[in-house]
Structure 1
Amino acid sequence: MIHDIKEYVNYLDGVHKRTMQYVKAIPNELLDWKPSEDKFSTGDLLRHIASSRLMFLGIFEHGSWTYTGHDTDKGASLEDISKYLEACQIKLTEGLLKVGNDKLTKRVLTMHGHEVSEWRILMAIPEHEIHHRGQISTYLQMNKIEPPQIFGLKIEQVKKL
């Protein structure tokens, strides 16, 4: 269970910084690329991560699930998408800090109508982002681009026993 929102926000900022390392590895020409017509493009995934941050914040501020979408009006270029990601991260973290620790013991409805502790929703935020960052890693590799190593080393570089 999460007991301190400031500590959580620091953790979330780390997840965000690692995602932004992936953004730096994406060439502009890959923004519209998608593995098939019915899947998100690389740009869609990035805008979706950003917009989802606002959706999650809405749960804590208003008790409602609202998704603003991931259309190109939220950023058509890598530079604009990066700005949108940063702005949404700032809004999320500032909003969570305003909400404070008192909300951590409250309950909220999931999208499916089940009641859960709000700290469980907090756990879903990085899980959601990391899931989509994994998709971006796959997209990069499918296009012969080496994704960043999130902790600086490949597994082959770790000392074996």
Structure 2
Amino acid sequence: MNRRKSIGLLGMGSLLLAQNAFSRASSVTGNTASDDNFMKAFSARWEGLRIHTFEVYDAMPETQFGFQPTEEVMSFAKLFSHIGVSLDYYAEILDGTSHKEEIESVEKGVVLPYLQERFERFEDALKQLNPSDLYNRKHNLGTRDGEIYFSNYDILMLAYNHTVHHKGQATTYLRLKDIVPPQYRF
């Protein structure tokens, strides 16, 4: 499949997910097939994201884990510990269980188990979600725009988007080191 067609399909997938959310956002009564379908689709996409994130992680040689393109940006290792702590925060919002502090290491063998545990923690919180409770705006979070109420759906989208964002940065770091990144998964 060529790159342009792949990007087009990614855009269509986002539109379909958004259409499902907007069609359900005004009606939050009861569990429907649509809610279950969303959860199944999200879980499948999440699994692809998880696999690709660890493929990108594995592609960087251990000796380059401290690599930072500039002083203002996170190191390669920090991108992944940041993904991990963020997943932990999102899980905390979803299930109320306290998060674990972010580690400070540029060692590949230290960051890996931390990242694996944080993915597992988020996925445990995901499994506990009730599909009929996706769109209730019950999570009051402070943002740069003030306090906003978020739904479980919003938290899932934040987790997905945030992980993709930093995995994309890591892919650029690989290219800066003349490493061909693993092929994208969806």
TM category (shorter chain) comes to 0.7 to 0.9
Gaps of 5+ in 2: 1-20, 22-33
CA deviation vs aligned residue, 1:15-65 (integer Å, no higher than 9, x gap)? 11111110110101111110122211000001111111101011112299x
Q: Could you say which residue in structure 1 is the equivalent of 2:46? A: 12
Gaps of 5+ in 1: 153-161
Asked if the contact 1:55–1:68 (Cα under 8 Å) also holds between the matched residues in 2, the reply is no
- After superposition, the Cα gap between the structure-2 partners of 1:63 and 1:20, relative to the gap in structure 1 and judged at 3 Å, is closer
Q: Could you say which residue in structure 2 is the equivalent of 1:145? A: 179
Pick one of 134, 137, 154 that aligns with 1:120.
154
CA shift at 1:70, angstroms? 4.4
Which aligned segments of 4 or more residues in structure 1 are displaced greater than 4 angstroms? none
Cα RMSD for the two superposed structures: 2.4
Aligned pairs, number? 148
Q: Could you say which residue in structure 2 is the equivalent of 1:87? A: 117
Task: Look up the equivalent residue of 1:98 and give its one-letter code.
Answer: Q
Q: Could you say which residue in structure 2 is the equivalent of 1:158? A: none
Q: Could you say which residue in structure 2 is the equivalent of 1:55? A: 89
- After superposition, the Cα gap between the structure-2 partners of 1:46 and 1:140, relative to the gap in structure 1 and judged at 3 Å, is same
Pick one of 42, 46, 58 that aligns with 2:76.
42
Q: Distance in 1 between matches of 2:41 and 2:110?
A: 29
Q: Could you say which residue in structure 2 is the equivalent of 1:99? A: 129
Asked if the contact 2:35–2:132 (Cα under 8 Å) also holds between the matched residues in 1, the reply is no
Asked if the contact 2:85–2:101 (Cα under 8 Å) also holds between the matched residues in 1, the reply is yes
- After superposition, the Cα gap between the structure-2 partners of 1:151 and 1:56, relative to the gap in structure 1 and judged at 3 Å, is closer
* 1:3 partnered with 2:39: no
CA shift at 1:128, angstroms? 0.6
* 1:111 partnered with 2:142: yes
Task: Look up the equivalent residue of 1:128 and give its one-letter code.
Answer: H
- After superposition, the Cα gap between the structure-2 partners of 1:109 and 1:103, relative to the gap in structure 1 and judged at 3 Å, is same
Asked if the contact 2:49–2:185 (Cα under 8 Å) also holds between the matched residues in 1, the reply is no
- After superposition, the Cα gap between the structure-2 partners of 1:69 and 1:87, relative to the gap in structure 1 and judged at 3 Å, is closer
CA deviation vs aligned residue, 1:88-147 (integer Å, no higher than 9, x gap)? 111111122123324313212233111232201211111111110111111111111111
Asked if the contact 1:6–1:97 (Cα under 8 Å) also holds between the matched residues in 2, the reply is no
Q: TM-score if structure 2 supplies the norm length?
A: 0.70
Q: Secondary structure at the match of 2:150?
A: strand
Pick one of 78, 99, 102 that aligns with 1:69.
102
Q: TM-score if structure 1 supplies the norm length?
A: 0.80
Q: Secondary structure at the match of 2:134?
A: helix
Q: Secondary structure at the match of 1:109?
A: strand
Matched residues, percent identical?
24
